[in-house]
Amino acid sequence: MSDSPIEKSNKRKYFLEKLSGRFFLFCALISVISLALIIGFVFFKGLTPFVADGYSFVDFIFGNDWVPSEDKFGVFPMIVASLYATIGSLIIGVPIGLFTAVFLAEIAPKPIAKILSPSVQLLAGIPSVLFGVFGLAVIVPFLQNNLGLPKGQSLIAVIIVLAIMMLPTIVTVSETAIRAVPKSYREGSLALGVSEIGTIFKVVIPAAKSGIMAAIVLSMGRAIGETMAVILVAGNSLIIPTSLTDSVRPLTTNIALEMGYAAGTHQEMLFATGIVLFSFILILNFVLAKISAKGGQ
């Protein structure tokens, strides 16, 4: 029995239906493929020296000297620099950003908040390089002159630039979290005779905790991963920083500075530096996932 024209056209439709479904699945899998390729290539390249060439991973992580010409690859100073820079910027950036978010969400007169909130949000989109340019042009000379440093490019300059850079993110994300706190919480507290400020600090901020934590983790990821802005103000010396005014070289800048000319084992060690950075980010993502799972409950 031959098919009628309508049945034939329907057959074509079902075929297209199946084909398009497969195609959409393929597109969706590109994320997975990309992630696999990224992890695969970076780890393959970065682990080669330790797996194939007999370099010690422990020496790499805890070694103090990074002298590629002498075959010495120790990233400990960079790990320390990255951690100091990230933690330092959080210490400055989080409270200022959080208090600004509280102000915008709770205290600021409506017309002011209506202008400021989107403006701050807009600043989150500014290329981070520009923060580095500002840092080099203003913050570095300021530190150099006022602290009497030989060179203004230092850990503290990195910390300040990163803190400024993360401000818009912290403000925007925490403001959203604070605004999401139900009105009834505030009313409940105010009805008990607690002052407005008391309510904010005792009830609203704790209620928005998971959103605020997400903002912090997000900024932390940005800070530890930031590269070009940091190069401009870090000084890039290969020492373990002992004071805020020391010149530093965080993990990211090490990669960007040397990728241009590195070859062979040297280049692979830069990928290994990437793995260290990657591991920090993975830990952060894990924490973030935990937090957002908690927030969802």
Partner 1 sequence: MNKIKDHLLRGILWFSSLLTIVILVTIIGYIFVKGYKLINFDFIFGDYSPTGGGGIWPMVVTTIYTIVISLLIATPIGIFAAVYLQEYAKQGRLVRIIRFATESLTGIPSIIYGLFGAVFFVATLNFGMSIIAASLTLTIIILPVVIRTTEEALKTVPQSYREGSLALGTTKLQTLLKVILPSAVPGILSGIILSMGRIIGESAAIFLTAGTVAALPEGIFSSARTLTVHSYLVTQESGDIELASAIGIVLIVIILVLNLTATYISKKLNKAD
Partner 2 sequence: MKTAINLSNDSSVQAETNKNVKISVNNFNLFYGEKQALYDVSLDIYEKEVTALIGPSGCGKSTFLRSINRMNDLIDNVKISGDIIIDNENIYRTNDVIKLRTKVGMVFQKPNLFPMSIYDNVAYGPRMHGIKNKQELNQIVEESLRGAAIWDEVKDRLKTSALGLSGGQQQRVCIARAIAMKPEVILMDEPTSALDPISTLKVEELVGKMKKDYTIVIVTHNMQQAARVSDRTAFFLNGEVVEYDKTDTIFSVPKDKRTEDYITGRFG
CB of 1 to partner 2, least distance (A): 14
φ, ψ (nearest 5 deg) of residue 208: -95, 10
Binding flags for partner 1, 158-197, as an x/- string (CB under 8 A): ------x--xx--x-----------------------xxx
114 interacts with partner 2 by CB under 8 A: no
142 interacts with partner 1 by CB under 8 A: no
Give the range of 53-61, 131-139, 147-155, 205-213 binding partner 1 by CB under 8 A.
Answer: 131-139
Contact 104, 173 (CB under 8 A): no
CB of 109 to partner 2, least distance (A): 38
CA neighbours closer than 13 Å in the CB half-sphere of residue 232: 20
58 binds, among partner 2, partner 1, none (CB under 5 to 8 A by kind): none
Instruction: Look at strands 66-67 and 72-73 and give their pairing.
Output: antiparallel
195 binds, among partner 1, partner 2, none (CB under 5 to 8 A by kind): partner 1
Contacting residues for 101 by C-beta, under 8 A, at least 6 apart: 170, 171, 172, 174, 175, 178
User: Which DSSP letter does residue 68 get?
Assistant: G
Count, residues in the chain:
297
202 interacts with partner 1 by CB under 8 A: no
Figure out which of the listed residues 7, 8, 11, 24 binds partner 1, where binding follows CB under 8 A: 24
196 interacts with partner 2 by CB under 8 A: no
Give the range of 4-12, 20-28, 193-201, 260-268 binding partner 2 by CB under 8 A.
Answer: 4-12
34 interacts with partner 1 by CB under 8 A: yes
The DSSP-derived string for 153-212 is -SHHHHHHHHHHHHHHHHHHHHHHHHHTS-HHHHHHHHHTT--HHHHIIIIIHHHTHHHH
Which is nearer to partner 1, 245 or 252 (by Cβ)?
252
| Of 231, 239, 240, 237, residue with least CA distance to 259 | 231
Which is nearer to partner 1, 70 or 79 (by Cβ)?
79
Which is nearer to partner 1, 24 or 57 (by Cβ)?
24
